[in-house]
Amino acid sequence: MIQNLTEHDREHLQEALGKSGQKVTPQREAVFTVLLAERDHPTVDEVFQRAREVMPGVSLATVYNCLETFVGCGLVRQVNHERESTRYCPNLAPHAHFRDKETGRVHDIELPPEVIKSLRSILPPGFDSEVIEISFHGRAQAKDSPAN
Amino acid sequence: MIQNLTEHDREHLQEALGKSGQKVTPQREAVFTVLLAERDHPTVDEVFQRAREVMPGVSLATVYNCLETFVGCGLVRQVNHERESTRYCPNLAPHAHFRDKETGRVHDIELPPEVIKSLRSILPPGFDSEVIEISFHGRAQAKDSPAN
DNA sequence: GTGAGATTTTGAATCATTCTAAGTACCAAC
DNA sequence: GTTGGTACTTAGAATGATTCAAAATCTCAC
């Protein structure tokens, strides 16, 4: 069952939206409620299904809009950041990727073994990871692609 | 300009394909050549455009097939691993994600500040990152979602 | 209450990717 | 050298997530 927002959460929503000049609407409340109710990293479609339980008339487009708005004002995070076309690289050495916001270019960043180790060490017992994907997003002033 | 494969690269291709009972074909050679020629993490469509310069008749479907084959036999790596629907989470504390291969579930993994620091430290000078995305892929025997 | 601007809705459009069915190439056995 | 099998490629249709466009609705300041 999806509970109503607590006073505190409602204020949080209000404040975050307000800061960027946007309003609290029933739809936004519904979507936010859904996100807080079950923190299982739902897809848009899952959010949509659940939101309809609370507000039967909401549309899928609105759910997309709300989520975009929330991401924009820092209320929620996108897990598959900037879903774009899949990219391929023939560099098989362990490395991270850095996507330059400005150019869209992706650079390889060498990944020293001790960093990999420290990453693995944060996994709780019972979690066994074969693949670690790391990607940075930001700006690079570098002239040329580094390590490749 | 896209050069032909070196002897060495051709052998590499041959061996990797052979291991999984697959053949070297002109199309696969062309696609592999393209991948090695410019290591800029191209999208499928970019690979397709470039492959056509080398082999005008090649089809998009074949490029998809070749890339899938290469990933399967470990010749290349996919940058946007498992492109799926975008997911959302309201956990704003810095954390990594762990996707369980079996269930498809995504778990939050707490990210200690020192690990973040060590990650930032691998960026070459001139690279300034605002967002770091980390995702593990593997198996979890845990009963329940941990830190959330 | 009116009007401007923001928000929502529906349905169409787009884009990456996958699927399907038919065609082609190659190799082995005869 | 023909036959058959298997892997591979092709074109185009189908799918699925997401975005867009235009009309309808809401909200708030006045």
pLDDT, tens digit (0-9, with 9 covering 90-100), for B9-25: 888 898 889 888 899 99
Q: Would the CB atoms of A35 and B98 count as touching at under 8 Å?
A: no
Q: What is the mean pLDDT of residues B92-119?
A: 81
Using the structure block, give the residue that is written with the tokens 């996707």. Answer: B99
Q: Give pLDDT, residue B6.
A: 85
Average per-residue pLDDT for chain A: 82
Spans of all domains in chain A: 7-72, 95-138
Q: Which fold has domain A7-72?
A: Arc Repressor Mutant, subunit A (1.10.10)
Query: Is pLDDT at A81 greater than 60 in this prediction?
Result: no
User: In angstroms, what separates the C-alpha of A112 from chain B's closest C-alpha?
Assistant: 8
Name which residue leads in pLDDT, A106 or A135.
Answer: A135
Name which residue leads in pLDDT, A111 or A77.
Answer: A111
Q: Distance (Å) from CA A92 to C1' C27?
A: 33
Name which residue leads in pLDDT, B94 or B25.
Answer: B25
> What DSSP designation does B4 have?
P
CB-neighbour burial class of residue A139 (10 A; exposed 0-12, middle 13-18, buried 19+): middle
CB of B44 nearer than 7 A to strand C = yes
Chain D nucleotides close to protein (CB under 7 A) are 7-12, 16-21, 27-28
Cα nearest neighbour of A148 on chain B: B39
Q: Give pLDDT, residue A146.
A: 42
Q: Give pLDDT, residue A3.
A: 67
Q: Would the CB atoms of B43 and A106 count as touching at under 8 Å?
A: no
Q: Which CATH architecture has domain B80-142?
A: 2-Layer Sandwich (3.30)
Asked whether the domain spanning B80-142 has the same topology as the one spanning B7-72, the reply is: no
Q: Would the CB atoms of A115 and B118 count as touching at under 8 Å?
A: yes
Query: Is pLDDT at B62 greater than 90 in this prediction?
Result: yes
* A33 Ramachandran zone, left/alpha/beta (phi>0; psi -120 to 50): alpha
Instruction: Decide if A5 touches B, using CB distance below 8 A.
Output: no
Where does the pLDDT of residue B30 fall: very low under 50, low under 70, confident under 90, or very high at 90 and above? very high
Tell me which protein residue sits closest to nucleotide C11, measuring alpha carbon to C1': A61
Using the structure block, give the residue that is written with the tokens 């896209």. Answer: B2
Q: What is the CA radius of gyration of chain A?
A: 20
Q: Give pLDDT, residue A50.
A: 93
Q: What is the mean pLDDT of residues B104-114?
A: 82
Enumerate residues near strand D (beta carbon within 7 A): A 23, 25-26, 43-45, 60-61, 64, 68, 80, 83; B 17, 21-23, 25-28, 57-59, 61-62, 65-66, 85-86
Where does the pLDDT of residue B146 fall: very low under 50, low under 70, confident under 90, or very high at 90 and above? very low
Least Cα distance to B140 among B95, B110, B109 occurs for B109
**In chain A, at which residue ranges do the beta strands (DSSP E only) sit?**
77-78, 88-89, 95-100, 106-110, 127-140
Q: Give pLDDT, residue B31.
A: 93
Q: Which residues contact A130 (CB under 8 A, 6 or more apart)?
A: B137, B138
Percentage of residues of chain A with pLDDT beyond 70: 84
Question: pLDDT digit string (tens) for A30-65?
Answer: 999 998 888 888 888 889 999 999 999 999 999 999
Where does the pLDDT of residue B71 fall: very low under 50, low under 70, confident under 90, or very high at 90 and above? confident
Q: Would the CB atoms of A134 and B132 count as touching at under 8 Å?
A: yes
Q: Give pLDDT, residue A65.
A: 93
Name the 3-class secondary structure at A110: strand
Cα nearest neighbour of B139 on chain A: A128
Determine which of A122-131, B39-48, B95-104 has the lowest per-residue pLDDT on average: B95-104
Q: Give pLDDT, residue A104.
A: 65
Where does the pLDDT of residue B52 fall: very low under 50, low under 70, confident under 90, or very high at 90 and above? very high
Determine which of B32-46, B53-67, B83-97 has the lowest per-residue pLDDT on average: B83-97
Q: Distance (Å) from CA A141 to C1' D24?
A: 47
Least Cα distance to B66 among B42, B83, B40 occurs for B42
Q: Would the CB atoms of B111 and A122 count as touching at under 8 Å?
A: yes
